A and B are shown apart, each in its own frame.
Chain A
Amino acid sequence: MKKALVIVLLIVAAVPLVAAVAGLPPHGSPSNPTYTHVSAYYLEHGAEEAGAENIVTDMILNYRGFDTNGEVTVIFTSLAAVFGVLLLTGAVARKPAAPEIPVSMVVRFIARLLAPFIAIFAVYVILNGHISPGGGFQGGTVLGALYITVSIVLGRDEARRLLPRGPKPWLQAAGPLTFVGVGLLGLVLTGYYLGFPTTPALAWLRTAMIVVIEIGIGVGGAAVLASVYETMEAD
């Protein structure tokens, strides 16, 4: 009975949503405003003036870079939120005495063997984001997944060495901080926060700034993922 009610409710809710989507300008039509308005400008000028061949990267880091600045802050917020909810007094002192689950030798060997390749792939994805699909978020996730793999297969202590205590809080904040750093550099160079120099002579600087942001996002994202996993797993 309850389930039937839920299904009826869902159908009732779906009708206006479907109607709204059906009323949108036709997908794929050349007169669709999503193609003719703002994104047409991006596609026409992106590669020349924004610093990256990959138009998506141009859009998220240059034209609408401030959104992405907020987005990396959302990632950092989730870290602060997880710490705020999970940290306990004395939890650091209470070293994990719990025995780790034994892992088969084959798995350990494969993990050790693949780890450097995964890391190289992550770095490739981060550094290549301005040319091909990829970028800081994607590469950072791969890097974070590597940390989790190491932590599960080779043990927490092994994994912890990858994220030393000293620079850890700075690494976790790397995303927002590099963004603000590059943004302020843009303020100095062009007079606007997150402004990228538009003169052709400074094209290299434009690209360099984008790559620096990508690295910041990648490192920061990986550090946040790793720390969130570490904190959840310590429980």
Chain B
Amino acid sequence: MGAGARPPYTNPIPQGLILTGIVVAVSTTALALSLIIRIWKQCGTIEADELREMD
């Protein structure tokens, strides 16, 4: 592919940034789910209102 004959490309940077954003979101979600699993096992509920009463 020569330098002159380029099809109109979209900007690559935001695509890369969004990819990173997705990866970060997935990772955070994995940890959040693990914590929810543990809280559910220990408290028997994951309703915020009920958890507040337990404290």
Instruction: Show the binding face of A for B, using Cβ within 8 Å.
Output: 34-35, 38-39, 42-48, 53, 55-56, 58-60, 64, 67-68, 71, 74-75, 77-78, 81-82, 85-86, 137, 228, 231-232, 235
Q: In whole angstroms, what is the CA distance A218 to B54 when docked?
A: 43
Q: In whole angstroms, what is the CA distance A45 to B30 when docked?
A: 38
If A82-B31, A85-B31, A232-B37 are given as contacts, then 9 extra A-B residue pairs at C-beta distance below 8 Å, sorted by A number, are A34-B13, A39-B13, A55-B9, A71-B23, A71-B24, A77-B27, A81-B30, A85-B34, A232-B34
At the interface, yes or no: B45 with Cβ under 8 Å from chain A? no
Q: Which of B1, B24, B30, B41 contacts A47 (CB 8 A)?
A: B1
- Kindly list the 4 A-B residue pairs having the minimum CB-CB distance in the complex, ordered from nearest: A78-B27, A60-B16, A59-B12, A81-B31
Interchain CB contact under 8 A, A56 and B12: yes
At the interface, yes or no: B52 with Cβ under 8 Å from chain A? no
**Chain A residues, Cβ within 8 Å of B23:** 71, 74-75, 137
At the interface, yes or no: B19 with Cβ under 8 Å from chain A? yes
A42/B12 contact (C-beta < 8 A), A48-B3, A232-B33 known: yes
At the interface, yes or no: B35 with Cβ under 8 Å from chain A? yes
Interchain CB contact under 8 A, B11 and A78: no
Interchain CB contact under 8 A, B16 and A64: yes
10 contacts between A and B (CB under 8 A): A34-B11, A44-B3, A46-B12, A60-B19, A67-B20, A74-B24, A81-B34, A82-B31, A86-B37, A137-B23
| Central interface residue in A46, A55, A67, by most chain B CB within 10 Å | A55
Q: In whole angstroms, what is the CA distance A68 to B28 when docked?
A: 17
**Chain B residues, Cβ within 8 Å of A42:** 12-13
Measured between C-beta atoms, what is the minimum distance from A207 to chain B in Å?
14
**Chain B residues, Cβ within 8 Å of A39:** 11-13
Q: Which of A35, A47, A78, A86 contacts B28 (CB 8 A)?
A: A78
Chain A, Cβ-Cβ closest to B28: A78
**Chain A residues, Cβ within 8 Å of B26:** 75, 78
Among B1-27, those with CB < 8 Å from A are 1, 3, 6, 9, 11-16, 19-20, 23-24, 26-27
Q: In whole angstroms, what is the CA distance A231 to B37 when docked?
A: 11
**Chain B residues, Cβ within 8 Å of A44:** 3
Q: In whole angstroms, what is the CA distance A82 to B31 when docked?
A: 5
Interchain CB contact under 8 A, A43 and B31: no
